[in-house]
Structure 1
Amino acid sequence: MDLDRFCRRYLEQWDERATVRGLARYRVSEAETARELFPARLQPLAAHRLVRSRGAGTARELLIRTAYQWQSDIAALEVEVVADLCGKLANEGPGCAIPDSTRQVALTIATDETYHAFVAREFIADVERVTGFEPPALPGSEPALVKGVRVTREGSPAELRREVETMALCFAEHFVTESLFGLSKETEPDNAFHVAVREHLIDEGRHQGFFRHLMGHLWAGLDEERRIALGRAAPLFLDAFLCDFETIGRSNIRMLSQCGFTPEEADRINRDTARAMARGKRLGKAEMPHAQHCLVLARAAGLLGHAPTREAFIERGWIVPEACGAA
């Protein structure tokens, strides 16, 4: 399906399917906050013996603060990155010719994402009102996506700015959709965090399809010189976006400190947990589970079928030579 046809159909469906247009907002109740708000199995810090020694109350607070962090990052990246870049996509284009219908879809997505930020902050406020746990100042630390776009933009030629930003947007929306889907599978259907994530996914599934089409359209419309330049930038963006473990560590230490642990204890818990997770799992970038969806998009859009780009991905460790034929 060509991009214009896809976008026209998308616009026809937006009024009926967008949560901002037709779905009453979900609000967190007091009873729901008494249950596990974020899945413990997805927060390995909760299994550390120092956390467990503090009892169920500390574990509950840590999981609530983990939910805060997720929603805080959503509130930040949806406005600072996604809505902003969608506005640029509508007004300036992606770096290649696009139909007017694509510009209109970009505006609907900017609208959706700003609404998602509103709902994320409302979720935090609802939980704070019931539990009394004060959330971190939004957005907390610089989210990985914000850093990824900034680093890649700064490291790319100025004349390639729109192509780089569009590529980052396509990768990010593909990744976020799959991450939210994974979270929804790990939580119970009547869990407050699950309900919030599922509502978000109503829109993100459509967004993912749009950005998959847009990435292929962008790549197909580039001349060889710009393909080579964008192909070099792509793995650099993935490095900054998916491998920012220092920021994750700082977020972990901040949450633990808010739960009452001393700076030394928080650092120890974070380091012990990181070592435990790495033990026996020395995965390269190409093997990291959370990277697979971005690599799938790179293949589907044609990036890894382009020899210079494929070599750039190999040099940065995002694909291994043995996998080149399959790419």
Structure 2
Amino acid sequence: MYLRAFKEQLLSGPVGARPQDGEYASRFERWDALASVRRRPRREFEGEEPGRFFFPPELYPVVLHPMIASRGEAVVRGLLLQRLYDYLDFTTELESLAVIPVATKISRGRSGLSLPDRMRADAHKIVTDEAWHAQFSDDFARQITAATGTPRLGAEGCAGPSFVTRLDELRERLPHALRGVEALLFAIVSETLISGILSDIPRDDRLPSAVRELVRDHAEDEGRHHVYFRSVLRHLWPALTPSERRAIGPLVPGAIHAFLEPDYERAAYHLGRVGLSRDEIDQVISESWPAHRVRHDISGAASQLTRHFAEVGALDDVRTLDSFEEAGLVGDVRESEKAGFVPREVTA
């Protein structure tokens, strides 16, 4: 078992047979001076601050729904506190389950790609960063519980963050010979998207100062990770065979949605805890996250990542381009032509 796990690659097949790209510009030269694990203190939650939200309400629109707002400030604040807990749990699980294992494989030369030595060395630093993010998120959640007396709900015995089950579904859609590459793909997607998600929270003065500082620490590290995993994508796509690209490319939108789509199940759990019936929960969720709005928001959040995939030629395949269009990640064919998202090679 352990020997098999040691040898297992994220992308199967002989590494030497794949095209190699030796270009890599490191963003980790000053890691010792910049990484939050090296220079930032432990963030300490000192208790509730009057008039402050635990989480931006606009990012958790169920609390703005009339059916919830009418229940009073205490219910709204309680739901926002649980949303903060969920965010912290999501961070810990994302780093532990999705990013650290991939960065570890890269660092040990078991990505399935022929990567520059400096790139492998930098992956060690990412493992350290992400372990710190997981640790300080869990630690901060524990501090909040101690300070408020309100435990986090739904973390024990649940299915976990929704990205976990969505990622399993993606894996099932891959040919057996390619299973494992979805982990690499999801790490690329999540690490290039998360820096944008974190960008506004540190500037939101409505939040407790310790929350803003914690997210700022995370965001600064993730800016470097964004650049790194964009480079991983530039090494990955040219190394794939045409048949591998055809199998993997149409699944990219699913990986994007797995990361960006709201966790409806966790929201439903919290709404049930405040006394809503199943029908009321369905109504609040559907009206708080209407499908067209979710689609629009995901498209906007992923626009830069879509350009990254276009730059490496992923959208040259017509089926991959179709899957991006169906997911709303690029416009219609005319708009795609303007943006340069036209398949140069239509594969049968």
Provide the rounded CA distance (Å) in 2 between the counterparts of 1:233 and 1:18.
Answer: 33
| Alpha-carbon shift at residue 35 of structure 1 (Å) | 2.4
**1:301 is the counterpart of 2:312:** yes
The letter of the residue matching 2:287 is: R
Which letter does structure 2 place at the counterpart of 1:59? Answer: V
CA distance in 2, matches of 1:302, 1:286: 24
Q: Which amino acid aligns with 1:89?
A: I
1:179 alignment partner in structure 2: 197
Matched, 1:256 2:245: no
Name which of structure 1's ranges 108-117 and 36-45 shifts more when overlaid on structure 2. Answer: 36-45
Alpha-carbon distance change, 20 to 156 in structure 1, aligned in 2, over 3 angstroms: same
Q: Return the alpha-carbon distance in structure 2 between the equivalents of residues 286 and 309 of structure 1.
A: 21
- Tell me: CA distance 1:241–1:42, structure 2 relative to 1, closer, same or farther (3 Å): closer
The 2-side partners of 1:112 and 1:291 are apart by 24
| Identity score, percent | 26
C-alpha deviation, 1:79, in angstroms: 0.3
Instruction: After superposition, give the CA deviation of every residue in 1:212-248 in whole Å (9 maximum; x if it has no partner).
Output: 11101211222322222221332343354444x6xx2
The correspondence for 2:249, drawn from 231, 238, 261, is: 231
Aligned residues: 317
Quick check: 1:212–1:301 contact (8 Å CA) kept in 2? Answer: no
CA distance in 1, matches of 2:109, 2:50: 44
Cα 1:30–1:53 shift into 2, 3 Å: same
Seen in structure 2, the aligned counterparts of structure 1 residues 112 and 75 have a Cα distance that, compared at 3 Å, is same
TM-superposed deviation, 1:70: 0.7
Residue 324 of structure 1 aligns with an amino acid whose one-letter code is S
Question: Matched residues in 2 for 1:31 and 1:284: separation?
Answer: 35
Q: Which residue of 1 aligns with 2:4?
A: none
Cα deviation for residue 209 of structure 1 reads 0.6
The amino acid that maps onto 2:81 is I
Change (3 A) 1:26 1:268: same
Report the CA distance between 1:283 and its aligned residue: 6.8
- Counterpart of 1:103? 120
Task: With the length of structure 1 as denominator, give the TM-score of the two structures.
Answer: 0.85
Give 1:13 shift: 1.8
Question: CA, structure 1 residues 147+90, in 2 after alignment: closer, same or farther (shift >3 Å)?
Answer: farther
Displacement after TM superposition at 1:125 (Å): 1.0
Give the letter for the 1:271 counterpart.
Q
Q: Distance in 2 between matches of 1:285 and 1:112?
A: 32
CA distance in 2, matches of 1:61, 1:287: 27
CA distance in 1, matches of 2:326, 2:272: 39
Distance of 1:92 and 1:138 partners within structure 2: 34
The aligned runs of 1:258-297 (5 Å cut-off) are: 258=273, 261-264=274-277, 268-275=280-287, 277-278=289-290, 281=292, 284=295, 288-297=299-308
State the partner residue of 1:153. 171
2:209 paired residue among 191, 194, 197? 191
Q: Distance in 2 between matches of 1:205 and 1:222?
A: 27
Aligned to 1:323: 335
Tell whether the 8 Å contact from 1:3 to 1:102 is kept in structure 2 after alignment: no
Number of the residue aligned with 2:139: 122
**1:184–1:194 Cα contact (<8 Å) kept:** yes
- Higher mean displacement: 92-101 or 118-127: 92-101
Are the structure 2 counterparts of residues 322 and 286 from structure 1 closer, same or farther at C-alpha, using a change threshold of 3 Å?
farther
The one-letter code sitting in structure 2 at the alignment partner of 1:97 is S
Q: TM-score, normalised by structure 2?
A: 0.80
Give the CA deviation at 1:189: 7.5
The reply on whether 1:221 has 2:232 as its aligned counterpart is: no
Structure 2 counterpart of 1:65: 82
Aligned partner of 1:297: which letter? H
Unaligned runs of 5+ in 1: none
When residues 218 and 17 of structure 1 are mapped into structure 2, their CA distance, relative to the original with a 3 A threshold, is: same
Partners of 1:156 and 1:133 in 2: CA distance:
42
Q: Give the deviation of 1:134 after TM superposition.
A: 0.7
SS state at 2:166 partner: helix
Structure 2 unaligned segments of length 5 or more: list them.
Answer: 1-20, 342-348
Residue type matched to 1:38 in 2? F
